[in-house]
């Protein structure tokens, strides 16, 4: 059985035991368009299903014979269960998050999730924005995923805006990839200063802010920005030709600072978590 | 760590390769960009115009090693 169908089998079994969950991790990355080879199954579970999770899993005929709970490096919020062994000899693990330090509460994640065909059935996955956030860790591989997922997100947001499903300002507020920026530029999406101002007031991400600011130099940035852009860079952005060389350079400088910040936050959280144990 | 804005970028990359600090040009470039914050501030706070800065080797390197452009990107 291929991993996609195996995931479908697992979700069907979990549903039969009343486990409400979203698929995160490698399978979510695959669902959103980026091929990743993965043997693990990562799930974000409703807090209501957390305490009696082993009992619920035991109820699923699919796992009970071989179910073994493994060690957790984030006790109380992360549990993993070995559910079998693949024909290659590799162990097969089901990993559950109750809360993830990079993400919001389950109900919020579920409201932004997306359901779609995967393997032989429909499955609910983490939304692409939350998936990107979940990948903002200290690991290099995760940032490689982020760079491609940002392109997919930008393309989808522009398409949704073109279809009238979301306001253009909402789409612009999340622009994070150079390919996405070029597509917006070609679609003339930055031509209305009021829309760009609206996008800037809503965007908390410094990369998106850096892309937008030269189109509306006098605009005020959101007060709850994830990271303040260095004042001299801001001054340059406010005087730069949109889409010019210097503009792209500053965006990449800001991006690198942002990645550094997110890596450090994740590293500190992991250290604190280990120390607490 | 760190370097001055007036140092030659190609020489800094070569230095990393010759010293064994980096195995490949890509590694050396990544290391250099990660150590470039002081030089970036020196340059953006300096007298160069935006156009001149956009052509500076360090700022060009940020673009080259940054988010992937579309194939039809003019820059």
ipTM of the complex: 0.94
The verdict on A81 and A126 lying in the same domain is yes
Please give the mean pLDDT across all residues of chain A. 94
Please give the mean pLDDT across all residues of chain B. 93
What mean pLDDT comes out for the span A243-266? 97
Residue A58 pLDDT > 90: no
Q: Which residues of B touch A246 (CB under 8 A)?
A: 50-51, 53-54, 59
* Domain-embedded: residue A276: no
Per-residue model confidence (pLDDT) at position A64: 59
Cross-chain residue pair B54–A249, CB shorter than 8 Å? yes
The verdict on A62 and A152 lying in the same domain is no
| Closest chain A residue by Cα to residue B48 | A236
A134, A169, A193: which is the final residue of a domain? A134
Q: Would you tell me the crossing angle of helices A140-162 and A178-186 to the nearest 10 degrees?
A: 20
The verdict on A158 and A84 lying in the same domain is no
* Domain-embedded: residue A25: yes
* Domain-embedded: residue A17: yes
Q: Burial letters for A237-257: b for 16+ Cβ neighbours within 10 Å, e otherwise?
A: beebebbebbbbbbbbbbbbb
The verdict on A197 and A113 lying in the same domain is no
Q: How many CB atoms lie within 10 A of CB B27?
A: 14
**Which residue range forms the structural domain that includes residue A11?**
3-134
The verdict on A159 and A247 lying in the same domain is yes
Q: What is the CATH number of the domain that holds A89?
A: 3.30.460.40
> Strand locations in chain A, DSSP E?
21-24, 41-45, 68-69, 78-85, 91-97, 114-118, 121-125
* Domain-embedded: residue A271: no
A53/A46 Cα distance (integer angstroms): 10
The verdict on A216 and A256 lying in the same domain is yes
Q: Which residues of B touch A257 (CB under 8 A)?
A: 37
Reported residue count of chain B is 75
User: Which of A249, A251, A255, A261 is the best residue to mutate to test the B interface, defined by the most B CB atoms within 10 Å of its own CB?
Assistant: A249
Q: Which of A176, A232, A249 sits opposite B63 (nearest CB)?
A: A249
A245/B50 Cα distance (integer angstroms): 9
Q: Which of B65, B66, B70 sits opposite A182 (nearest CB)?
A: B70
Q: Which residues of A touch B40 (CB under 8 A)?
A: 253
The verdict on A8 and A77 lying in the same domain is yes
Least confident range of A78-92, A100-114, A195-209:
A78-92
pTM tops 0.90, yes or no = yes
Q: Which residues of A touch B50 (CB under 8 A)?
A: 236, 239-241, 244, 246
Sign, CA torsion A144/B74/A167/A228: positive
Per-residue model confidence (pLDDT) at position A75: 80
Please state the domain count of chain A.
2
Per-residue model confidence (pLDDT) at position A65: 66
As a 3-state breakdown, chain B gives helix, strand, coil percent values, each rounded to 5, of 55, 0, 45
B42/A249 Cα distance (integer angstroms): 15
The verdict on A95 and A197 lying in the same domain is no
A134, A163, A183: which is the final residue of a domain? A134
Helices (H) and strands (E) in chain A, counts: 12, 7
* Domain-embedded: residue A204: yes
* Domain-embedded: residue A12: yes
With bands split at pLDDT 50, 70 and 90, how would you rate the model's confidence at A40?
Answer: confident
* Domain-embedded: residue A273: no
Cross-chain residue pair B33–A256, CB shorter than 8 Å? yes
Q: How many CB atoms lie within 10 A of CB A169?
A: 20
A134, A163, A182: which is the final residue of a domain? A134
CA of B67, closest CA in chain A: separation in Å? 6
Higher-scoring residue by pLDDT: B68, A25? A25
The verdict on A40 and A145 lying in the same domain is no
Whether the CB-CB separation of A159 and A46 falls below 8 Å is answered with no
C-alpha A149: how far from its chain's center? 8
* Domain-embedded: residue A270: no
The verdict on A77 and A172 lying in the same domain is no
Cross-chain residue pair B70–A179, CB shorter than 8 Å? yes
Q: What is the SS3 assignment for A99? A: coil
The verdict on A86 and A52 lying in the same domain is yes
The verdict on A212 and A256 lying in the same domain is yes
Q: Which residues of B touch A (CB under 8 A)?
A: 33-34, 37, 40-41, 44-45, 50-51, 53-55, 59-60, 62-63, 65-70, 72-73, 75
Cross-strand pairs, A163 = none
Cross-strand pairs, A123 = A116
Higher-scoring residue by pLDDT: A60, B48? B48
């Amino acid at each position: 059985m291929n991993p996609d169908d195996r995931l479908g089998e697992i979700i069907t079994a979990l549903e039969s035991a009343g486990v409400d969950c979203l698929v995160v991790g490698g399978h979510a990355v695959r669902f959103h368009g980026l091929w990743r080879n993965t043997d693990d199954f990562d799930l974000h579970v409703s807090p209501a299903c957390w305490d009696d999770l082993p009992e619920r899993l035991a109820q699923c005929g699919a796992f009970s014979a071989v179910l073994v709970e493994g060690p957790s490096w984030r006790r109380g919020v992360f549990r993993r269960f070995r559910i079998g062994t693949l024909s290659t000899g590799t162990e097969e693990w089901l990993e559950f998050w109750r809360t993830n330090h990079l993400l919001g509460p389950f109900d919020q994640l579920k409201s932004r999730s997306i359901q779609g065909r995967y393997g032989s059935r429909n499955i609910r996955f983490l939304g692409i924005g939350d998936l990107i956030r979940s990948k903002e860790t200290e690991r290099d591989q995760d940032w490689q995923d982020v760079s491609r997922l940002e392109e997919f997100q930008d393309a989808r947001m522009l398409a949704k805006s073109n279809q009238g499903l979301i306001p253009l300002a909402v789409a612009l507020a999340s622009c994070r990839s150079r390919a996405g920026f070029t597509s917006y530029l070609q679609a003339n999406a930055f031509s209305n200063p009021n829309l760009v101002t609206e996008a800037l007031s809503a965007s908390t991400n410094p990369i998106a802010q850096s892309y937008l600011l030269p189109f509306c130099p006098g605009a005020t940035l959101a007060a709850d920005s994830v990271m303040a852009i260095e004042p001299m860079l801001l001054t340059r952005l406010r005087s730069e030709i949109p889409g010019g060389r210097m503009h792209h350079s500053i965006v990449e400088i800001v991006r690198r600072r942002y990645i550094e910040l997110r890596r450090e936050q994740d590293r500190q959280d992991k250290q604190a978590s280990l120390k607490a144990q | 760590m760190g370097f001055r804005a007036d140092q030659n970028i190609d020489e800094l990359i070569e230095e990393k390769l010759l010293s064994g600090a980096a195995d490949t040009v890509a590694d050396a470039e990544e290391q250099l960009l990660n150590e470039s914050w002081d030089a970036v501030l020196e340059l953006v706070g300096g007298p160069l115009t935006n156009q001149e800065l956009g052509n500076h080797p360090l700022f060009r390197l940020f673009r080259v090693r940054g988010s992937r452009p579309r194939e039809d990107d003019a820059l």
